[in-house]
Amino acid sequence: MIARTGNPVRTSRRTPTQRHVGSVAGVLLLSIVTLAMTSAVGVAQSPETTPGTVQSPGAAESTNGEPTIGVQLLRDPKRVTFGSSTGRFRLEAPDRDKSKKIVPGKTATQIVPLATMSVEYRKKGDGRWIFAVAPELAKKSKSGPRGYQFYDGQQFRVRADGAPYTEVGGRRYEGWIEFTWIPDAEGTGSWRMVNRLPMERYLAGVLAGEMTSAEPAALQAQAIAARTFALYQMLTRSPGARIHVDASIRSQKYVGGKQDSAILDAVQSTRGEVLFHQGRLFKSQYHSTCGGHTAGGSATFGTPNIKTLTSVRCTYCRNERFTKKGWSCSIPEKEIRNVIKRVAAAPPYNIALGRISKIEPVDKQKGGHATYVKITHSGGHFELDATEFRNRLLFDGGFRDLRSTSFAITKQGDAFHFTGHGFGHGVGMCQRGAMRAAVEGLDAIQILKFYYRGADVVQLW
Ligand SMILES: [Zn+2]
């Protein structure tokens, strides 16, 4: 383990000696991952646990301790079309030990045992071959024409054959595109389309989505924060989980693709480095613009009272649009009610939400981020976690203009008018601030230690 403690003059490349230390200590590092998981999530570690094994999802596929991560690209895909620069694909059903190379000229019915699924392989007008699957048809067919039981609870996967990327929906991804059937409590379920690839390659696709153009120090800080966040997500999923993160901002934005050299440098020069606080991995949240102060961790994030996620004053983002000018938006009362009534109806509230007359920020933190919102409606009032309130309006309602929880709220006719500062949930690293801090000469460690107080950078693989 290499613990880095904020050397003011940081070189972006590790020396060969350090690299050597890292690889020799590989087995040790793996047990640290286990320990980190244990302490982070309170899972009892069995004394029989073999040293050097990581009791975590994807560990079986890891190399040199680098885990393989499952990134959900799409929930309930109806029809997916793949492209490959070679025109060839590989289709596998790993749990059936079936593997098929799909080459031009083969028809769908030859792709056994997947003939029961709607598959299509054809030449497009531009001469390129595409391969399409429509998994939703498959789940309706318990047994196919050849008597195959279909894929309940199982997986199949596709990748371009002989090409570095598999093209899906206008993007290019490395690794496998996996289709996993996730059963639900009602006895049905849904297909999920998942990109499975090594962690470091995933991180390059995250940087491309989260921070494309910045000084090397900011990109390195972003890589370490994103790696920590992803590993935390992996280690807190149930063992054997095939999906660890979402490709959207619900987790961190992942766009795959071929990344530029600045991004690749930032990922490679921080390989395996994550944030620890007092020997524990923590959920290293980050966001676009804090607006002047970051927000503390909250129950919504599963990070209450974590010292590394306390509010800090950030002047680095002072010239950013959402700090300087702020933002405003109006959302009709009816729309808010439609979104929030589902939350209100569920435990612990169990409230039939009536017409909303007032929404007030409660327990404003130093920088203005509300901890709760008090919602007064025709049936009474209740308090809802402010981030939960925003997340529901953002993710369920699509109200992207509600930029943060650092807001004031007024009722204007049939709508609520929000005015606020900052962009994002406000917890952890302020990305625009980090970018500015790097311009002002802070290195990656200094940036991370500024936003995550008391954190250390540790190399795990
Ligand atoms: Zn900031």
93 belongs to a structural domain: no
Q: d(Cα 335, Cα 342) in Å, to the nearest integer?
A: 12
Q: Is the pLDDT of residue 109 over 80?
A: no
The number of CA neighbours under 13 Å toward the Cβ of 346 is 5
Q: Is the pLDDT of residue 177 over 80?
A: yes
Least confident of 145-154, 247-256, 390-399: 145-154
Q: Is the pLDDT of residue 87 over 60?
A: yes
426 alpha carbon to ligand 1 midpoint, in Å? 8
Share of the chain above pLDDT 70, in %: 69
Q: Is the pLDDT of residue 293 over 80?
A: yes
440 alpha carbon to ligand 1 midpoint, in Å? 14
The per-residue pLDDT for 186 is 67
388 belongs to a structural domain: yes
74 belongs to a structural domain: no
315 alpha carbon to ligand 1 midpoint, in Å? 6
Rounded to 5 degrees, what are φ and ψ at 282?
A: -135, 170
Instruction: Say which residue, 45 or 166, is predicted with more confidence.
Output: 166
Task: Find the Cα–Cα–Cα–Cα dihedral 315, 320, 323, 325, rounded to 10°.
Answer: 140
115 alpha carbon to ligand 1 midpoint, in Å? 54
392 contacts 340 by C-beta, under 8 angstroms: yes
- What DSSP string describes 52-87? T---STTGGG-BTTB-EEEEEEEES-S-EEEE-TTS
Q: Is the pLDDT of residue 353 over 80?
A: yes
Place of tokens 């390195």: 220
37 belongs to a structural domain: no
Place of tokens 């490395």: 174
319 alpha carbon to ligand 1 midpoint, in Å? 10
250 belongs to a structural domain: no
437 belongs to a structural domain: no
261 alpha carbon to ligand 1 midpoint, in Å? 27
45 alpha carbon to ligand 1 midpoint, in Å? 39
325 alpha carbon to ligand 1 midpoint, in Å? 14
Instruction: Say which residue, 329 or 126, is predicted with more confidence.
Output: 329
The per-residue pLDDT for 434 is 97
137 belongs to a structural domain: no
pLDDT band at 338 (very low <50, low <70, confident <90, very high): very high
Which pTM was predicted? 0.78
Q: Is the pLDDT of residue 143 over 60?
A: no
459 alpha carbon to ligand 1 midpoint, in Å? 27
Domain that residue 349 falls in: 323-420
434 alpha carbon to ligand 1 midpoint, in Å? 8
Q: What is the mean pLDDT of residues 351-355?
A: 95
pLDDT tens-place string over residues 395-427: 999 999 999 999 999 999 999 999 999 999 899
Work out how many domains the chain is built from and give that number.
1
Instruction: Say which residue, 48 or 179, is predicted with more confidence.
Output: 179
277 belongs to a structural domain: no
366 alpha carbon to ligand 1 midpoint, in Å? 13
Which tokens belong to 282?
């923590």
The per-residue pLDDT for 70 is 95
